[in-house]
Structure 1
Amino acid sequence: MKVLMISLNYAPEMTGVGKYSAELAEWLALRGHTIRVITASPYYPEWRVRPGYNPRTYTTERINNVSVTRVPFWCPKQPSGLRRVLHLMSFALFAFPAAMWQIAWRPQAVWLVEPPLFASPSALLAARIAGASFWLHVQDYEVDAAFRLGILKGRVARKLALCLEKWLMSRADVVSAPSVAMTRLAVQKGVPREKTYTFTNWVEIQHAHSNSADSAYRAQLAIGRGVHVVLYSGNLGLKQGLEIIADVAKLLMWRTDILFVICGAGPAKSLLHERTHGLPNIKFLDLQPKERFDELLALADMHVLPQRADAADIVMPSKLGAMLSSNRPVIATASRGTELWDVVNSVGLAVEPESPTALSQAVLRLADDCRLREHLGALGRQYAASNLSKDSILLQFEARLRSSVTGRQGVGDEATMT
């Protein structure tokens, strides 16, 4: 198959959408498919374009048998409110001519990752002119998130945005999302159930590290023996509710055998530094190389995954799979009845969101119970191996993609006959 992928984020970004888009494209290329990608220069999660890339020009490079076209875009240093909207719009604007240029290549499928939803018209138009299947993959319901989190406001604006979203989603041949709850939401937004597909974020199951004390990061961070490490690794965004980690660290200052480690980059990092200034039980790490990722996860005695209550079921944290596969227990803040709560509560500890007290009690419970840590860590790894295996998920996806291409070709043949 010939697949045109439009994704704001792509390799060499190592977290979030960029990681999954690149792994998907490269996996398909290894399977013999021809993949072309339209993306931006790498900037996430630091929100700073990396050296060697120019966000003002169109460039093309080849990465692991995938042709990658990078388009101009605007990258704000503080991605909040209107700036974030303009950032997404800038990519959609400059991705349009790149998508139109690819029509002559005659892709059989056009795959768009949301956000940005603003790029949907370009993807839809390119797909229809080329006679290709249009697949919209929703990693984040940006319209719902923008209004729930207060990035955008106003009843009229919300109604118009939701109407536009519904119109665009209804034109896709397939609409997918990484969780059952997010897929169900697509149906509630008017997408026919038969057009939806749950495309879970996968994980590569690596060797399970049995002992946190074996991690080289302990020596690097001067962590003493017998100290329990509570790890958060990933994007440090302003709207993730990460301040709860700082609040819990303050509550547990009296426990000298518990240390919080925050690893990552993003606009909230400076705020977290300010909020935890002077606390002896918290350390920060910059985003680490991909080659050391498994070793970083092995540093943890437990992982913590904060999520705000108002983000429930409009996003499924992509980092959850890696946490579960690491053989370490996971504590997530999630509202009862949400999919995140259901998953984590079955293999780890799910606690009330935005409650430092509830989260601190869960940390204490695991710190004081070695057998429980080992039991929940093993359960999480088993869940990841059974439900999040990369090859299993991508083979099923490939079959559905091929089916959508065949279905669209059938529609084209019927149109030609009539």
Structure 2
Amino acid sequence: MRVLIGSESFSPNISGVAVTTFNLAAYLARRGHEVTLMVPSPRFGNFTEVFPEGFHVLRVASVWHPFRKGFRVTVYPLNLARRVVRQWRPDIVHLQDPTSIGSALLKATQEAGLPVVISHHFTLEYVLAYLWFLRPFHKSLRRRLTTAMVRFYNQCRHVICPSETVRQSLLQAGVAVPVTAISNGVDLDRFFAYEPPLAARLAFHLPAKPLILYVGRMDPDKSLDTLFKAMPLILARHDVHFALCGTGNLREKFERLVKKDGLAAHVSFLGPFVNQSDQLPRLYQLATCFVIPSGIESQSIVTLEAMASGLPIVAARAGALPELVTDGDNGFLFTLGDPEDLAAKVDALLADEKKRRKMGRRSLEKVVTHKLEASMARIETIYQQVVSNG
């Protein structure tokens, strides 16, 4: 089968969509499918490359994202999309988002009479977080964006989303085509690995203390200010260290904040190079617990990775996170935006090693149902059904 995948986020961008898109392309190539991706170029120019995993990537001329630091976006490359569809003639097109490349490919495939499926990875709160300057108009914008999204999705044959929470929200919004919840999945073999902690601590220059870990973007939608406000409350009771791995619009602000508050000795900011390398599993293995304060997760790949590493999770009771974290079972849920509640839940973990270990084991047991290969196989089955139905 020839599969054309369109995504506005792909390596070297760091995001859940980029990770999922790479995993899908690599899986399909291993299965013998011909796979081509259309993704933004790192410059204002088109070029192609072949990844070692066996799929082709067409990099589309792009410009800097006006609101998201370090990201580049394309400008509705319709003529290029038409040419790719006409010359390559895919059996199916899989869009990863309804933005520029996705919109161009949808139009081109409709003209060619080819089937399209789309994955839904985001919440509208994620979009609105970058439009903070339009806050007085958010209610109206949310309605308009929802209408546009539903109209777009109903032109596709099938919608894939990562959680039942998101599936229900799409159906309630008015999506009329089939919607299937399929976990983003996680490579269990990669994160089950174990090594003695000393070497990893030396590699990351981390002290021999309990480690509270966050991995992900440092952008407005991630509610990281809740974690930073909780830090002094946690440090008042426990001698711990915080490691934050990632980058984003707010990273420099948070670095200045910890210096201003006298917390610099207790916080390490680890660069995006860790996310993009084999170092990441080592970092998870060092952690005592994983914290995710975001309220907009449609699933959360990093939470799956932390679970696969045997960690107890402290997560916001919001979005789809309660599908991964059962309060009191494999971690704790705290009230979104409440630093006191977050600190109390971390304190409960740090104060009880037996409970912490039990919750870590439960994370391992729960994450087995999110095996990456199984998720990718379900998507492949949807392709076959859509293509066979014409």
**In the alignment, what sits opposite 1:267?**
249
**In the alignment, what sits opposite 1:340?**
321
**What is the aligned-residue RMSD (CA, Å)?**
2.4
**In the alignment, what sits opposite 2:115?**
133
1:183 aligns with 2:167: yes
Distance apart, 1:263 and its partner CA: 1.3
Letter in 1 for 2:239: D
Q: How does 1:134-213 map to 2 (within 5 A)?
A: 134-142=116-124, 144-147=125-128, 151=132, 152-153=134-135, 154=137, 156-192=140-176, 195-206=178-189, 208=192
> How many residue pairs align between the two structures?
377
Distance apart, 1:147 and its partner CA: 3.9
CA-to-partner distance for each residue in 1:308-342, whole Å, 9 max, x for gaps? 3xx3xx6322211101101111110124xx53124
Distance apart, 1:22 and its partner CA: 1.1
**In the alignment, what sits opposite 2:378?**
396
Letter in 2 for 1:383: K
The counterpart of 1:284, out of the listed 257, 269, 277, is 269
- Pair 1:11–1:121, CA change in 2 (3 A): closer
Distance apart, 1:77 and its partner CA: 7.0
Distance apart, 1:75 and its partner CA: 1.4
**In the alignment, what sits opposite 2:363?**
380
1:304 aligns with 2:291: yes
Deviates more, 1:30-39 or 1:127-136: 127-136
- Pair 1:283–1:156, CA change in 2 (3 A): closer
Distance in 1 separating the partners of 2:143 and 2:332 = 37
Letter in 2 for 1:19: V
The counterpart of 2:314, out of the listed 331, 334, 357, is 331
- Pair 1:294–1:397, CA change in 2 (3 A): same
Deviates more, 1:273-282 or 1:169-178: 273-282
**In the alignment, what sits opposite 2:49?**
61
Q: How does 1:2-151 map to 2 (within 5 A)?
A: 2-13=2-13, 15-41=15-41, 53=42, 55-63=43-51, 64-76=53-65, 78-79=67-68, 91-94=74-77, 96-104=78-86, 105-114=88-97, 116-142=98-124, 144-147=125-128, 151=132
CA-to-partner distance for each residue in 1:184-241, whole Å, 9 max, x for gaps? 122122222x611112111011363668x6253322455444x210001122112211
Check the 8 A contact 1:209/1:327 in 2, yes or no.
no
Q: 2:180 is paired with a residue of what secondary structure?
A: strand
Check the 8 A contact 1:180/1:198 in 2, yes or no.
yes
Check the 8 A contact 1:234/1:264 in 2, yes or no.
yes
Distance apart, 1:120 and its partner CA: 4.1
TM-score, with length taken from structure 1: 0.83
- Pair 1:76–1:370, CA change in 2 (3 A): same
Deviates more, 1:121-130 or 1:320-329: 121-130
Q: 1:353 is paired with a residue of what secondary structure?
A: coil
Distance in 2 separating the partners of 1:273 and 1:145 = 23
Residue segments in structure 1 that go unaligned for 5+ positions in a row: 42-52, 410-418
Residue segments in structure 2 that go unaligned for 5+ positions in a row: none
**In the alignment, what sits opposite 2:197?**
214
Distance in 2 separating the partners of 1:275 and 1:186 = 38
Letter in 2 for 1:32: G
Q: 1:36 is paired with a residue of what secondary structure?
A: strand
Distance apart, 1:271 and its partner CA: 1.1
Letter in 2 for 1:109: I
Check the 8 A contact 2:7/2:101 in 1, yes or no.
no
Distance apart, 1:129 and its partner CA: 2.9
- Pair 1:400–1:247, CA change in 2 (3 A): same
Distance in 2 separating the partners of 1:77 and 1:296 = 32
Check the 8 A contact 1:215/1:296 in 2, yes or no.
no
Query: What percentage of aligned pairs have identical amino acids?
Result: 21
Distance apart, 1:173 and its partner CA: 0.3
- Pair 1:124–1:327, CA change in 2 (3 A): same
